[in-house]
Amino acid sequence: MARLVVLAVLAALLTPATSVSAQPDRHADLPLAGRVIVIDPGHQLGNSRHRAEVDQPVPAGNGQTKPCNTTGTATNGGFPEATFTWRVATRLAARLRALGAEVVLTRTTNSRADWGPCVDVRGLLGNAGYRGWDRPADLKISIHGDGSLSGGRGFHVIVAAKAEGRAASTAFGRTVRGALHDRGFRDATYTAGGRGLTHRSDLATLNLSEVPTAMVELGNMRSAADARVMTSRKGQRRYAAALAAAVSRYLR
């Protein structure tokens, strides 16, 4: 009996162990497996309490500087842009993770105690080499709500005007625009010539990014019609579904 026990122990010791990396990846067959997406929920709820910090100038690309951040806008009823963008971003993140993607958010709280991050950090996050990233993200999407007093309504997508990466970001921006159309959202009536897509050279989030990036103003929070959608859970889910469809469509 003792000899059998010894043989069993030796057999166990000599059998090669199976490493974690050798285990089959349960997510490998999902459509966005291996993809890395950066989601930027605009602003932060506590920015208004940290004006000295958010007013400090930071690099914005193209030789420009801009304030670290701003307070963002709100509906006429006081619903903050920061909360709107956070709710859409977290819903979007959940959808993308369910499709197999790795998702990184530029902020991980929606708190009156927190501020930032600065727009240069938002722009750089996802670039290869920044904060030790050994590869670039596949895409970045920056989520905002507009505060136009024009009385107009609707969404518009903004991409960088810089030559480097312009084609990829423009293609992604057009995909975002199309996916929002598919969910029943319409181009802004008060900007971008009613086409829902514009190029800008003054935004750090776009200028400093080296990956395909689109910034989207999902609606005009000062419009009563847009505000009803943007403050509702149903509306936030519709926005998240449209943006998830855009990411999937562009990457697939």
Per residue in 90-100, pLDDT tens? 999 999 999 99
Domain 29-251 sits in CATH 3.40.630.40: yes
| Residue bearing tokens 């193209």 | 62
Confidence at residue 25, expressed as pLDDT on a 0 to 100 scale: 59
Residue 3 pLDDT grade (very low, low, confident, very high; cuts 50, 70, 90): very low
Q: Which of 203, 163, 186, 175 is nearest to 70 (CA)?
A: 203
Q: Which of 216, 222, 214 is nearest to 239 (CA)?
A: 216
Is residue 210 flagged as an active site residue? no
Indicate the SS3 state at residue 152: coil
CA distance 240 to 91: 6
C-alpha dist (Å) from residue 191 to 146, 186, 198, 201, 218: 11, 12, 9, 16, 13
Decide: 209 and 127 in contact? Cβ < 8 Å: yes
pLDDT tens digits, one per residue of 27-76: 789 999 999 999 999 999 999 999 999 999 999 999 999 999 999 999 99
pLDDT tens digits, one per residue of 105-148: 999 999 999 999 999 999 999 999 999 999 999 999 999 999 99
Catalytic choice (53, 81, 164, 217): 217
